[in-house]
Amino acid sequence: AQSVTQLDSQVPVFEEAPVELRCNYSSSVSVYLFWYVQYPNQGLQLLLKYLSGSTLVKGINGFEAEFNKSQTSFHLRKPSVHISDTAEYFCAVTRNTGGFKTIFGAGTRLFVKA
Amino acid sequence: GAGVSQTPSNKVTEKGKYVELRCDPISGHTALYWYRQSLGQGPEFLIYFQGTGAADDSGLPNDRFFAVRPEGSVSTLKIQRTERGDSAVYLCASSLGAPPETQYFGPGTRLLVL
């Protein structure tokens, strides 16, 4: 079975500062990794995903994430945040062979202050 | 084009009643997922359809929950003898295929069981 732990429930940060949202996962098999974002009053949308190959993945809106197999982590980063990045961010995993079930973390609320 | 739509957007019912929640996926998407999201939590997988068949229903919590997708497009999640603990936002997502294809989420149906 897979599980996902998002280490911070809330992250307040000032505008134009860098941010890192942490995600650790547990799995006995290889997985695909995802970050989703949920803006206020909107549905979830995909930010980026790791399938294989390069461990640094770039997504939409200037976000990137790095897959670290030894630490079983997939932290999300952005070098300079905007007010509009205020949202809930979810890390998720799916086993990469014969897997359909996507397991989500509890989410991290990013609050960008002016 | 049109995204995933879900109806109703809100549903209030009484304990013990039967409810149906509808999901209209993006046209041409063969894969469809149902999730349940409780307050302060990430989406919890319920069931995955590939075409008309449920390829993975391991997330359905008990036999009061049932989902169908008779023509491989619209899906209905059915909950019998509702309980207060069923109160949550029910999310639907569709994709072109199995993971790691990107899932596109609908806005959700907020179910409140009194």
Distance of alpha carbon B11 from alpha carbon B24, whole angstroms: 17
pLDDT of residue B1: 60
Q: Which residues pair with A73 in a beta bridge?
A: A24, A68
Return the residue of A nearest to B54 by Cα: A100
* Interval A60-111: pLDDT, tens: 999 999 999 999 999 999 999 999 999 999 999 998 877 789 999 999 999 9
* A16 SS3 class: coil
User: Could you list the pLDDT tens digit for every one of the 114 residues in chain B?
Assistant: 689 999 999 999 999 999 999 999 999 999 999 999 999 899 999 999 999 999 999 999 999 999 999 999 999 999 999 999 999 999 999 999 888 899 999 999 999 999
Q: Is B72 on the interface with A (CB under 8 A)?
A: no
pLDDT of residue B95: 95
Mean pLDDT of A25-51: 92
Return the residue of B nearest to A42 by Cα: B107
Distance of alpha carbon B39 from alpha carbon B2, whole angstroms: 27
User: How close B75 comes to chain A (CA, Å)?
Assistant: 17
